[in-house]
Chains A and B, each alone.
Chain A
Amino acid sequence: MSASRDIVEAAAVPAGAAAASAHPPRWRAGWLNSSRGLGLILLMPALVLVVLFFLMPVVLTGVFAFTNMSTATGISGGTYQVTPGALRELADRHGMDELAEKLGQPSFVVDEQGLKALEEMGIEPAIIADLREGHLGETHASRREFERMLRDLPERPDTRTVKRISGEFSRSLANSRFSSRESLLAAAEGVDPELTEEEKTALVQATYTGWVWTADNFRRMASSRDTVRILLNTIFFVATTLIIFNTAFAMLLAITTHYIPERPAGIFRIIWFLPRISPAVIYVLLWKWFAWDTGFLSAFLDNFGIRPRNWMLDTAANAWFFVIVINGFVGASMGMVIFSSAIKAIPESLFHAASVDGAYRWQQVRHIILPQLKWPILFVTCYQTLSLLTSIEQTLLATDGGPGGATEIWSLAIYHTALNNYAGNLQYGYGAAMALVLVVIGIVLSLIYLRVFNYRALVAKPRIEL
C-alpha cells in the first residue's frame, strides 16, 4: 500500500513534466523529417551513381550506336585533314580530280608574302636577306627539298627555325590539319578562290577525320553473317547452360544434399560454392590447368594411351563443353541455394506422410519437391538468362571466343569489336550498336521479370505518412 503511494507521488513529480515540455523534440530540421525531403537526400548518392554510370552511359551508348566511331575517328571529335586518302575520295567519289590535284600538290614557294611573315615572326634578318636575294620566286615540290635549300643558306638556321620557315612558305594543303571547317575552307579558297558550294561540301566531307552520324551499324549488323552466327552461339550458350546447369543440375544438387546428413551436405555446398566465390581469373586458370596439353586431364589420359592435347580448345565441341561447364559450375550454386531453401520450407510432416504412404523417394521428389520448386525455377531462369547473356569474364579468359570464333558470344563480340582486338582497330560505334541490342533485351527481360514477380507487391505503400 505504501509502496504504491510512493509511486503515485513519484509519478506526480512535476519536474519531469516541466523538463519534458521545456525540451521539445529535436525534429526541427524539416527536411530530415519528411519522407520527401529525407528520401531525396538519402537517395542522392544512388541517384548520382545511377546518372553517372548508368543513365549517361546508356544514353551515350545509344548515341554511339548511330556513329561510325572508331580508333581512327576518335571519340571526342575530329579535325579536317587533307590526306592523300581524302583527296582520292574527292577525285573518285565526287569527280573533282582537278580540285584534288590543286589542293594536294605540295609546293613551297619563296614569295614576298612569306618573307614578310618571317619578318613578323622575328626570324634573323640575315636569313631573310639570304632568301630574298638568292631564292625569291623559287618553287620546291617537296618539303624535304625546300628544307635542304634552307639549310644550305650561308646563314644556316637551326632545325626548329627551318621548320618554322617551311611552314610559312607552304602553298599547298596536302596533309595539313585544320581544327575547324571555316579554317579549312578559308585555306582552300587561298589555293582556289573559285570554289563552288558543291566543292566546299565535298571537301569538308572528304577531309573530316572525326565520326559522323550513320545508321550503317545496324544495316551492317543485319546483313553480316557473323551476326547470325554469334546470335546462334549466344542462344545456344544461354539455353544450354541454363537448362543443364542453372536449373537441372542445381536442382540435382539441392535434392541430393537434402537427402543426406547435414554435415556432408554442408561440405558439398561449400565445394559447389567455390566456383562462384573464386575470382574469375584464378577459377579459369584452374580449368586451364585441368584441360591444357600439359594439364591434368592430358597427363591422366596419357596413361591410357590417349594423346595429350589442349582439351579446352581441341574442337568446337570441346570448347563449348568447357565454356558451358565453366559458366555452369558458377551458375549452379545460385540455383542450389534457392532450391535448397525452397525444399527446406516444405513442412517435414509432408515427407513423413509420404513415407508412411510408402512413396518411393522418386515419388517424393516428383510429387512433393518439384511442385514446390515451380516459382524458384522461374525466378532462377529469369535471373540467370540475363546474367548469362551478359557474362563475359569466364568465357573471355577461357577460350576468348575460340577456336575459330566457335564460342564467340554476343557480349564477348562487343568486347572484341569495341575494345580489344589484335589489330587495335576498336570500333566503338559498331560495338555500341551491338551493346544497344543487349541493353534493349535486358530492359525487355527485366520488365517481363517485374510482371511475373508481381512487382506491385514489392512496393506496398509506406505505412507512415510523414
Chain B
Amino acid sequence: MRILLDHFSKSFGSVRVIDDMTLEIKDGEMLALLGPSGCGKSTTLFAICGIHKVTSGRILFGDRDVTNVSSQERNVGVVFQSYALYPHMTVRENIAFPLRIRSLPEAEIKRLVNEMAGLVHIGSLLDRRPAELSGGQQQRVALARALVRRPNVLLLDEPLANLDAKLRLEMRSEIRRIQLETGITAILVTHDQVEAMSMCDRIAIMNNGQIIQIATPQEMYRNPRTAFVAGFLGNPPIAFIDAVARDGMLAVENADIRLPIPREADRVPEGTPVVVGIRPENLGTEGDAAIRGRVSFIETQGRENLYDITLANGKVLRSIQRVRDDVSLHDEVEWRVRSDQLFLFAQNGERL
C-alpha cells in the first residue's frame, strides 16, 4: 500500500522536530529512513504508526487519510530495535496476539500463526518464551508478529542494531527476503548506511527533521545532493578538503595542490571557497589530477589497505587500494584522482 506523508510536521512542546516533510513510499517498496540519531527518523516512524500525533499535515495510507485514525486501526506492523516481544507469552502467543485482539476464530489464528512461523523459519520455536531465544530468533518472531495480521505497512525501527555482526548480515538478507516474498510496503529506520543501501529500494536521508535527499542507493552514492549525504554514505567515509576556485582550477591552500573543476559542476566564480569531497576508492593510481602527501597511517584490511595521507596543510585524505608493497609508512607519495569523481560543495554543504 502506498504511504504518503503530506507536509507533515511534528513538534514536542515548542521544539519543532519534523518540519514540513513530504514523503511518498510506493506500494511494495522498501524505503530506508537514514540519518544520525536525533534527526527525527524515529519520530516519523511513530507518526506513521500512530503512536505520535501529527502536529500538522496529513498521513495517507493508499487514498485513506489516517491522520486522525488511532494507531490500533491503522494496521501497521512494527518491529522495534529491542523487538518488544511480550516476555510472559510463548512465541506462539506473541504471534497470535494481534489476531486475538481482532477476535479471529482460534482455528484461523492457529493456521495463520503456523503459516507465518514457516515464513520466518521459526516453526520449531513456537512453544518457547522470548527469553529462551537468540537475538536473531527474537527478531524473526518480532517480524512474524508484525506481519501476521497483514499490515498495511511494515515499520522497522533499527531492527539490526542489537545483533552481532554475523547475525546482522544474515538478518539483513532475511528481512529483505521476507519483505519481497510478502510484497509488503516497508519502512526501515536506521542510522547505518550499509543497512539502508543493502536492504532498501530507496533511501530517504534525513537531517535535523528534514529529508535531504530521496534516491536509490546507487544514485545517492554516486550523486549526493549535499556534503552531509556524501559524508553519510560510504565506508570508509569520504574525506573533505577546503579549496578555492582560482584560474579555473581548485587550489588547496598551503598544500600546493590544484585540482580541475569537475565538468558537471556549475560554474564556480573565481575566488569562491569550496569543499572538495574525495571518496577513498577514487584516490589511487589513476586520474587526471595529482595529490601529494605523506602516508601517515596504514590500516590493513586484508585484500585492501586503507592509507591515510596527510597533506602539506595538515588535512588528511583517505585512499583504499589493493595492498601495495611499494608504499610504506611516512613515504611521500603522489596519487591521482579523476576530476569527474570529485564532489564539489559550497561552504553551506550544497552540491555545486
Q: Do chains A and B touch in the complex (CB under 8 A)?
A: yes
Which of B102-110, B220-228, B255-263 faces chain A? Answer: B102-110
Q: Pick the contact of B181 from A8, A19, A23, A25 — CB < 8 Å?
A: A8
**Contact A7–B108 (Cβ < 8 Å):** no
Residues on A with C-beta less than 8 A from B172 are none
**B37 interfacial contact with A, CB 8 Å:** no
Residues on B with C-beta less than 8 A from A465 are 51-53
**B112 interfacial contact with A, CB 8 Å:** yes
With contacts A4-B181, A11-B115 taken as known, whether A24 is within 8 angstroms of B73 at the C-beta atoms is yes
CB distance from A267 to the nearest CB of B (A): 32
Residues on B with C-beta less than 8 A from A16 are 108, 111-112, 115, 148, 150
* 21 pairs, A vs B, C-beta closer than 8 Å: A7-B119, A10-B115, A10-B118, A11-B119, A13-B115, A16-B112, A16-B148, A19-B112, A20-B75, A21-B75, A23-B102, A23-B103, A25-B102, A26-B101, A33-B70, A33-B72, A461-B12, A463-B51, A465-B51, A465-B52, A466-B50
Residues on B with C-beta less than 8 A from A464 are 51
Across the two chains, which residue of chain A brings its CB closest to B152? A21
Q: Count B interface residues, CB 8 Å.
A: 27
Residues on B with C-beta less than 8 A from A27 are 70, 72-73
Residues on B with C-beta less than 8 A from A25 are 72-73, 101-102
Q: Pick the contact of A20 from B12, B52, B149, B181 — CB < 8 Å?
A: B149
CB distance from A16 to the nearest CB of B (A): 5
**A17 interfacial contact with B, CB 8 Å:** yes
Residues on B with C-beta less than 8 A from A8 are 181
**B186 interfacial contact with A, CB 8 Å:** no
**Contact A23–B115 (Cβ < 8 Å):** no
Residues on A with C-beta less than 8 A from B73 are 24-25, 27
A contacts, CB < 8 Å to B: 4, 6-8, 10-11, 13, 15-17, 19-21, 23-27, 33, 461, 463-466
The residue in A10, A27, A464 that gathers the most chain B C-beta atoms within 10 A of its C-beta is A10
Residues on B with C-beta less than 8 A from A26 are 101-103
**B182 interfacial contact with A, CB 8 Å:** yes
Which residues of chain B in 63-77 are interfacial with respect to chain A, using CB atoms and an 8 Å cutoff? 70-73, 75
**Contact B103–A7 (Cβ < 8 Å):** no
CB distance from A135 to the nearest CB of B (A): 91
**B204 interfacial contact with A, CB 8 Å:** no
Across the two chains, which residue of chain A brings its CB closest to B114? A10
Residues on B with C-beta less than 8 A from A23 are 102-104
A6–B101 Cα gap in the complex (Å)? 28
The residue in A4, A7, A13 that gathers the most chain B C-beta atoms within 10 A of its C-beta is A7
A23–B150 Cα gap in the complex (Å)? 12
CB distance from B163 to the nearest CB of A (A): 23
A6–B114 Cα gap in the complex (Å)? 13
Across the two chains, which residue of chain A brings its CB closest to B51? A464
Residues on A with C-beta less than 8 A from B51 are 463-466
CB distance from B68 to the nearest CB of A (A): 12
A23–B75 Cα gap in the complex (Å)? 11
Residues on A with C-beta less than 8 A from B108 are 15-16, 19
Across the two chains, which residue of chain B brings its CB closest to A17? B150
Residues on A with C-beta less than 8 A from B112 are 16, 19
A10–B119 Cα gap in the complex (Å)? 8
**B99 interfacial contact with A, CB 8 Å:** yes
Across the two chains, which residue of chain B brings its CB closest to A25? B72
**Contact A20–B104 (Cβ < 8 Å):** yes
Residues on B with C-beta less than 8 A from A19 are 104, 108, 112
20 new A-B pairs (CB below 8 Å) besides A7-B119, A11-B181, A23-B104? Answer: A6-B118, A8-B181, A10-B119, A11-B116, A11-B119, A11-B182, A13-B115, A16-B115, A16-B148, A16-B150, A19-B112, A20-B99, A20-B104, A21-B75, A21-B150, A23-B103, A24-B102, A27-B70, A466-B51, A466-B71
Residues on B with C-beta less than 8 A from A24 are 73, 102
Residues on A with C-beta less than 8 A from B99 are 20
Across the two chains, which residue of chain B brings its CB closest to A13? B115
CB distance from A1 to the nearest CB of B (A): 13
The residue in A6, A17, A24 that gathers the most chain B C-beta atoms within 10 A of its C-beta is A24
CB distance from B42 to the nearest CB of A (A): 10
